[in-house]
Amino acid sequence: MPEQTAFTVRSGDVTRWSQTLIPTLREAPAEAESPSHVLMLRAGYIRKLGAGIYDYLPLATRVLSKVSNIVRQEMNAAGASELLLPVLLPTELYAGTKRDVDYGELLFKIHDRKNASYALGPTHEEPITELVKGSVTSYKQLPVNLYQIQTKFRDEARPRSGLLRGREFIMKDAYSFHTAVEGPGGLNETYDAMYTAYSNIFRRCGLSFVPVEAESGPIGGSASHEFMVTCESGEDTILRCPVSGYAANVEKCEIGARPRGTFNEPPTGELTEVHTPNLPGIDEVGKFMKVKPDRMLKSIVFEIKGSEGSRDQGTGKARWALAVVRGDHDVNEGKVKIAVRAITGDEKATVALADEKAARAAGFAIGYVSPRTVNSVPGTVLLVDNDASGGGFWASGSDKPDHHVKHFNWRREVGAALDDASKVCVVDVRNAIVGDPSPRSEGAKLEAAKGIEVGHIFKLGTKYSEAMGFEVLLADQQRKPVIMGCYGIGVSRTMAATVEQNHDADGIRWPMPIAPYHVIITLLRVDEEGPKTTAMEIAKKLAAIGLDVLIDDRDERPGVKFKDADLIGVPIRLTVADKALAVGAVEFKVRGAAEGANGGGKGTLCPLADVVSWCAQAARDGGLA
RNA sequence: CGGGGCGUAGCGCAGCUUGGUAGCGCGUUUGGUUCGGGACCAAAAGGUCGGAGGUUCAAAUCCUCUCGCCCCGACCA
C-alpha cells in the first residue's frame, strides 16, 4: 500500500450482518440441483422470481461488481471504452441482418401498446453497428473497441442450473471496428489483445480455465475462441492435446492423421438382409442384430445449399451429402460443410440436416440409409469418415424401411463410384473423442475435460457491416465495409461457474479477488460490549488497507454462525470471543484450510497487534492485487 | 418441442388410493434456561391446499380445463 498519494486509495467496506440481507437456508429448495444453484440459493446470494429469472441479493451483487471491475480494468487497459446501449431494441434494427429470423425463438420478442415489435437484446451487434456507423465518418477514427456490461435476454427453451443458463443474465459484450484485418490497428491486433485481456481477467478472478478453439455459431464470423472454466459439472466437452497445448471444443476439434481403408478388402460373407422393425436407435439395432456399434455404418443425409442459395436438382450439381461414420461415432456438421465445399468447389456452400420428407421423396429411406444411395439418388456426394472406410465386417442400413444388412462390403456394394473423386471422398467428418490422435503433435492423443463457457471471442469480419451498409472511405480512395470483432463474457455465469469450480461440502469457497467480503468476523457474544468494540476496531483497520469485512453480529448460537460463515464462503474468518481475547488475541482461520471432520477447525490464535498483517498476507496469498 | 415428475405455512415434506374439523420437521414470534460447529423447555402466530369449472349434502382428495415449476432429451452464451 502506498502511504500517501494524491488520490484516495480504495478503502474496504464494513458491513454488519444484522443490517443487511443474507437469508441463508438450512435446506435447499427442491428446485435446485447443480452445486452453484443450490449453494447460491442456500447461502442467500440469489432467489428465483421465475424460470431462469433471479434476484441478485447483496452478496451476489458484491461478487458481480468485483468481477465487473476486473473486467473493466482489463478492457480499459486493452484500449476499449465502456458505454451503455439500450436493452429494448426495435425489431426493424434486424432488418438487414435477418438475425431476428436466424436467432429464431431464442430472441425475446415483445410488443408495445401500439403493437409495435421489439426485442430484448440478446447481444448488441446491430445497435452498436448502427451507432458507430452514424458516428464514425472517417477511417481515421478507427479502430475503436467499445463495450458494455449489461443485462441480456434469451428466450431459452429450457432455462436450467440457476444462473448458468437463465433467460436473463449479465454479460460484458465488446465490439471492435477496423479497416483491415492485418497490421497495426487491424482486427487481428485487437483480437489478440482481447485474448490476452480475457486470460488476464479469468486468471485474476482466480479461476482454472482453458481457452479453446471454437465454431463461431449463429453470430457468424471466421475465427473464435471460447474460454472455459474447467469443472466436473460442466456441460461442454473440451479436448486437449497434452503435448502441444492445442485445445478445442467438440464441435471444432480437429483430428490428427488417421489411417484410411482401401475400399478393396474382400467381403466377409454374403450380403444378408435382417428384419429390424421398431428399433429407434443404432444401439438398439446393434443389440438386435448382435453387432457392436463400431462395426456398423451410420449414414446421415445432409442437404446442400449452394452459394446461389437455390437447389440444383437435375442440373448435375450436388444436392445431397451422405456422411458415413462408424456407429459409435457422431457426425460433425461443420466438418461435413468443409468437406462439401472441397468436393463441390463451392466455397460458400452450406449444409443442413436433410428435411425428412424431402429426403424420403428423393429416395433416401431415412433411418435405413446405406452408402449405396450415392448410386441410386442423383446429386449425392458420399463423405466417408476414415474409421468407416476400411474392410472387415460391416452392418448398414438396407435402403428400405425396417431392414438392415450384414456383411456390407464397400467395393461390392458401391462399386466404381468409389473411385470417382467428384462423388466420393474419405475425410474427417466426425466429432473428435478421447484418445483420437492430436492434430498438432504426432503420436499424442487427445484428452477430454468438462467445462463451462464463460467467455467467447469472435472475428466477425464484415457480416454486420455489409448487412447494415457500414462502409468507410479508406486512404486509398476505396470504399469498404468495416471489419468487426466481438467479445463476450458471461459475468453472472462466471460467478456461478466459480461456485461450480470452488465449493466443498460446507459451502462456497470464493477465490479472494471476487469474494463478496475478504474477512468475516464472527462475534460469539453479541451481548457483551468488549468483544463488540474489538470487532469493530479490527474491522476498521482491515477496511483501511482495502479489505472488505462482514461482521456477524447476529444474536445466534456459535454453531449457526460457523456454519453460515462456511456456507457463504468468505475466505478469512476471525473469531472474536472471550477465551482468545483473554490472552489478547483473536482466532484466525482461512476457509478450507485444515477443516475438521464435520467442517470444524479452530484456526490459530492471532495476537491483536498482528491481525491486520495476517489478513493482508492471507489476502495476498489468495491473489488479491 | 418430445418424455418424465411436482405444485399443501417462509423452506423441506406427509395427507389424495378409500371425499367428512389440514398435519409434521425446520424456520418465525414471546418468555425462560443456555452459549465454540445448525441447543432445550413452554406458549404462540402463520394455509384462497397453484387457478377455473364440474360431480357431491360435503372436495386438498374424484373429473375436465388451465397456469406455473423441475429433471432428461432436442436446442443453446
Asked if A363 contacts A320 with a C-beta cutoff of 8 angstroms, the reply is no
- Residues in a beta bridge with A426: A384
The nt closest to A53 (CA vs C1′) is B69
CA of A103 to C1' of B74 (A): 16
In this prediction, the answer to ipTM > 0.85 reads yes
Asked if residue A363 has pLDDT above 60, the reply is: yes
For the domain that residue A145 is a member of, what is the CATH number? 3.30.930.10
CA of A198 to C1' of B68 (A): 39
Which of A373, A393, A427 is the last residue before a domain boundary?
A: A427
Q: Give the mean model confidence (pLDDT) for residues A440-456.
A: 93
The nt closest to A579 (CA vs C1′) is B36
Claim to verify: residue A165 and residue A80 sit in the same structural domain = yes
Claim to verify: residue A471 and residue A527 sit in the same structural domain = no
Which of A460, A477, A499 is the last residue before a domain boundary?
A: A499
CA of A158 to C1' of B73 (A): 11
Our measurement of the distance from residue A222's CA atom to the centroid of its chain's CA atoms, rounded to an integer in Å, reads 18
pLDDT at A306: 72
pLDDT at A523: 95
CA of A159 to C1' of B37 (A): 36
Claim to verify: residue A245 and residue A283 sit in the same structural domain = no
Q: Give the mean model confidence (pLDDT) for residues A51-67.
A: 96
Asked if residue A224 has pLDDT above 50, the reply is: yes
Claim to verify: residue A475 and residue A614 sit in the same structural domain = no
Claim to verify: residue A572 and residue A483 sit in the same structural domain = no
What percent of chain A stands above pLDDT 70? Answer: 94
The candidate with the shortest Cα–Cα distance to A144, out of A192, A176, A188, A179, is A176
The nt closest to A454 (CA vs C1′) is B77
> Does residue A492 sit within a domain?
yes
Q: Name the protein residue, with chain letter, whose CA is nearest the C1' of B13.
A: A30
The nt closest to A493 (CA vs C1′) is B77
What integer best gives the mean pLDDT of chain A? 90
Claim to verify: residue A523 and residue A605 sit in the same structural domain = yes
CA of A298 to C1' of B65 (A): 45
CA distance A21 to A38: 18
CA of A280 to C1' of B2 (A): 14
> Does residue A491 sit within a domain?
yes
CA of A300 to C1' of B66 (A): 41
Q: How confident is the model at residue A313 (pLDDT cuts 50, 70, 90)?
A: very low
Q: Name the protein residue, with chain letter, whose CA is nearest the C1' of B70.
A: A31
CA of A113 to C1' of B65 (A): 30
Give the C-alpha distances (Å, rounded to integers) separating A450 from A210, A216, A246, A440.
11, 19, 15, 21
Asked if residue A25 has pLDDT above 90, the reply is: yes
Per-residue pLDDT tens for A186-210?
999 999 999 999 999 999 999 999 9
- Residues in a beta bridge with A120: A88, A108
Q: Name the protein residue, with chain letter, whose CA is nearest the C1' of B1.
A: A157
Q: Give the mean model confidence (pLDDT) for residues A381-394.
A: 91
Asked if residue A307 has pLDDT above 80, the reply is: no
Claim to verify: residue A175 and residue A216 sit in the same structural domain = yes
Neighbours of A245 (CB within 10 A): 11
Asked if A574 contacts A588 with a C-beta cutoff of 8 angstroms, the reply is yes
The protein footprint on chain B, as nucleotides within 7 A of a CB, is 1-2, 11-13, 25-27, 34-39, 68-77
More confident of the two residues A72 and A602: A72
- Residues in a beta bridge with A90: A118
For residue A159, whether the previous peptide bond is cis, meaning omega lies within 30 degrees of 0, is no
> Does residue A46 sit within a domain?
no
Task: Tell me the three cell numbers of residue A484.
Answer: 468487426
The nt closest to A600 (CA vs C1′) is B37
Task: Tell me the three cell numbers of residue A268.
Answer: 466377409
Question: Which residue has 436450467 as its cell numbers?
Answer: A160
> Does residue A433 sit within a domain?
no
The nt closest to A490 (CA vs C1′) is B77
CA distance A117 to A108: 11
Asked if residue A219 has pLDDT above 60, the reply is: no
CA of A31 to C1' of B5 (A): 12
Task: Tell me the three cell numbers of residue A285.
Answer: 439395432
> Does residue A264 sit within a domain?
no
CA of A31 to C1' of B59 (A): 28
> Does residue A194 sit within a domain?
yes
The residue type at A523: L
Which of A461, A480, A499 is the last residue before a domain boundary?
A: A499
Hey, is A437 helix, strand or coil?
A: strand
Claim to verify: residue A374 and residue A419 sit in the same structural domain = yes
- Residues in a beta bridge with A586: A606
The nt closest to A456 (CA vs C1′) is B77
> Does residue A50 sit within a domain?
no
* A97-106, A477-486, A527-536: least confident range: A97-106
CA distance A537 to A518: 16
Domain enclosing residue A421, as ranges? 272-427
pLDDT at A3: 57
Q: Name the protein residue, with chain letter, whose CA is nearest the C1' of B10.
A: A25
The candidate with the shortest Cα–Cα distance to A529, out of A578, A572, A580, is A578
Asked if A504 contacts A569 with a C-beta cutoff of 8 angstroms, the reply is no
The nt closest to A598 (CA vs C1′) is B37
Claim to verify: residue A516 and residue A493 sit in the same structural domain = no
Task: Tell me the three cell numbers of residue A444.
Answer: 499424442
- The total number of structural domains in chain A stands at 3
For the domain that residue A551 is a member of, what is the CATH number? 3.40.50.800
Q: Name the protein residue, with chain letter, whose CA is nearest the C1' of B35.
A: A557
CA of A461 to C1' of B29 (A): 64
Give the C-alpha distances (Å, rounded to integers) separating A337 from A257, A361, A519.
19, 23, 54
Claim to verify: residue A299 and residue A423 sit in the same structural domain = yes
Claim to verify: residue A597 and residue A517 sit in the same structural domain = yes
Claim to verify: residue A312 and residue A394 sit in the same structural domain = yes
The nt closest to A103 (CA vs C1′) is B76
> Does residue A105 sit within a domain?
no
For the domain that residue A334 is a member of, what is the CATH number? 3.90.960.10
